[in-house]
Amino acid sequence: MTYDIAIIGAGPSGMTAALYSLRAGKSVLLLEKETIGGQISSSPLLENYPSINKISGLEFSNNLFQQIIDLGVGFELDEVIDIEKDKDEFNIKCQFSCYKSKSIILATGVKHRHINVENEEKLIGHGVSYCAVCDGAFYKNEDVCIIGDANTALQYAILLSNYCNKVYLNTLFDRFFGDNILIERVKERNNIIIEHNLSLTKFKENEGELRGLIFKNTKTNELKEFTVKGCFIAIGQIPDNKKFSNLVSLNNDGFIITNEKMETLTPGVYACGDCKEKQVRQVVTAINDGAIASIYACQYLDSLK
């Protein structure tokens, strides 16, 4: 079967593109390699989406996924390895299978940025995590540390403070870069200890498990040790678009370059959401991108006829 539109990535942007495309009467294949909802599915609380006061990122993602399932989206949990254009069709090679489509919408989002300190990779799942929603419950009544200074780190601190003994929130700079409402909530929690100007130098481990962290103060060069069993790293995300460089142009940071129609270098290929070059990365802007990408992909398909 050749689909009208293949969408790579099942985050809010990709699922919105699927929603609009299905409602336009197109056949849609949605490919996702990991988690429905992408980054937002790990958010404990979504409070800035219009018309919804409070909802967890996971519930929001599940609702959107159910909506497109009800409309008949084709869904495969598979990782895209390569995409090649052959005349007016695209051949999509995945880890487990291959597919064909008349157009492509790239909505691959971003992945967690690692801190790149020795033993980090070794200790993932053994004290080092990038998702407090996923792994926080393992550290009930324990002391934990969060590294980061923006909204994700602030949200993680609030979440973990509900059941962890102490939550150390360590930032590289001398201030936070998140929303004021979250900063105030963090400061109200007695068991959240804020430490600024700290750069991680070492993960301490014993028998393959995290046992502590050593930081250097960037102003005094003083070393400071934290005895914790859990460390949550929230220092941003990076794109993963190199595999599509035969179809799209990438900027110096690896984000896909599009015009305001979400069109890329290749006719029939669109990009939307956090994987593309943009200034603001929020759920509402990702959904906006997905709707636009779908509308112009549908126009492209109609022009082929």
Give the span between the Cα atoms of 230 and 233, in whole angstroms: 10
Residue 149 is assigned to a structural domain of this protein: yes
* Domain end point (choices 203, 233, 263): 233
The pair of structure tokens assigned to 191 is 């068991």
Q: How many domains does the chain have?
A: 2
Which residues is 92 bridged to in the sheet? 83, 99
HSE-CB for 113 with a 13 A CA cutoff: 12
Q: Identify the helix (H) or strand (E) that includes residue 74.
A: strand 74-77
Are 92 and 132 members of one domain? Answer: no
Mean pLDDT of 114-126: 92
Q: Does the pLDDT of residue 42 top 80, yes or no?
A: no
Q: Above pLDDT 70, what percent of the chain?
A: 100
CB 212 within 8 A of CB 227: yes
Are 145 and 167 members of one domain? Answer: yes
Per-residue pLDDT reduced to its tens digit, 252-302 = 999 999 999 999 999 999 999 999 999 888 899 999 999 999 999 999 999
The pair of structure tokens assigned to 50 is 């219009």
Are 217 and 241 members of one domain? Answer: no
Give the span between the Cα atoms of 229 and 145, in whole angstroms: 8
Are 227 and 262 members of one domain? Answer: no
Q: Where are the beta strands (DSSP E) in 148-259?
A: 166-170, 192-195, 198-206, 209-217, 223-226, 230-233, 237-239
The pair of structure tokens assigned to 74 is 């084709």
Residue 270 is assigned to a structural domain of this protein: yes
Instruction: Output the pTM of the full model.
Output: 0.80
Q: State the pLDDT at residue 166.
A: 97
Are 139 and 220 members of one domain? Answer: yes
Are 13 and 39 members of one domain? Answer: yes
Q: Does the pLDDT of residue 120 top 80, yes or no?
A: yes
Are 133 and 40 members of one domain? Answer: no
* Domain end point (choices 197, 215, 233): 233
Residue 119 is assigned to a structural domain of this protein: no
Residue 121 is assigned to a structural domain of this protein: no
Which residues is 1 bridged to in the sheet? none
Which of 116, 109, 113, 133 has its CA nearest to residue 237? 113
Are 6 and 152 members of one domain? Answer: no
Residue 122 is assigned to a structural domain of this protein: no
Give the span between the Cα atoms of 230 and 132, in whole angstroms: 10
Q: Does the pLDDT of residue 149 top 90, yes or no?
A: yes
Are 272 and 136 members of one domain? Answer: no
CB 16 within 8 A of CB 294: yes
Residue 184 is assigned to a structural domain of this protein: yes
Residue 120 is assigned to a structural domain of this protein: no
Are 200 and 226 members of one domain? Answer: yes
Question: What DSSP string runs through 57-92?
Answer: HHHHHHHHHHHHHHTT-EEEE--EEEEEEETTEEEE
Are 222 and 241 members of one domain? Answer: no
Residue 186 belongs to domain spanning: 128-233
Which residues is 128 bridged to in the sheet? 124, 231
Which of 28, 17, 13, 11 has its CA nearest to residue 73? 28
Q: What is the 8-class DSSP label of residue 51?
A: T
* Domain end point (choices 182, 205, 233): 233
| Residue with token string 């006829």 | 305
Are 6 and 106 members of one domain? Answer: yes
CATH code: domain of residue 165: 3.50.50.60
Q: State the pLDDT at residue 46.
A: 85
